[in-house]
Amino acid sequence: MLRPGSGQGPHCQLPPLNTEYWGREQQIHKLGELLANSYSVLLLHGPPGIGKTCLAVDVGWHMWEKGCFPGGAVLVPLKGAASARKQQQRLSEALGVHH
């Protein structure tokens, strides 16, 4: 089983898990279920500091380890990218796509 920091390879660009983050198993399961069965993209929205990024990374690793992302996995931080153009630019950069 692939673990954070264990030679992730070129297709998994998820950051390591935060060691001080825990207790979100129910949410991880529900978000993983939605991604596996219904949606290809989910947006986590909420006030700063509640653990959105940690939750997203945890869900990503959970699904990566289950083989749900054969094409790869990447986290695209959108903090400070208020416009659709900025968000698209960050996504393009993360995927290595240049216009």
Question: What are 36-74's pLDDT values in tens digits?
Answer: 888 878 888 889 888 898 999 999 999 988 888 888 888
Give me the residue spans of the domains in the chain: 49-98
Question: What are 20-35's pLDDT values in tens digits?
Answer: 778 889 999 999 999 8
The segment with the largest mean pLDDT, out of 42-46, 85-89, 94-98, is 85-89
Per-residue model confidence (pLDDT) at position 1: 37
Per-residue model confidence (pLDDT) at position 41: 80
Q: Judge whether residue 19 has pLDDT over 60.
A: yes
* Ordered DSSP codes for 42-86: -----STTSSHHHHHHHHHHHHHHTT--TT-EE----TT--SHHH
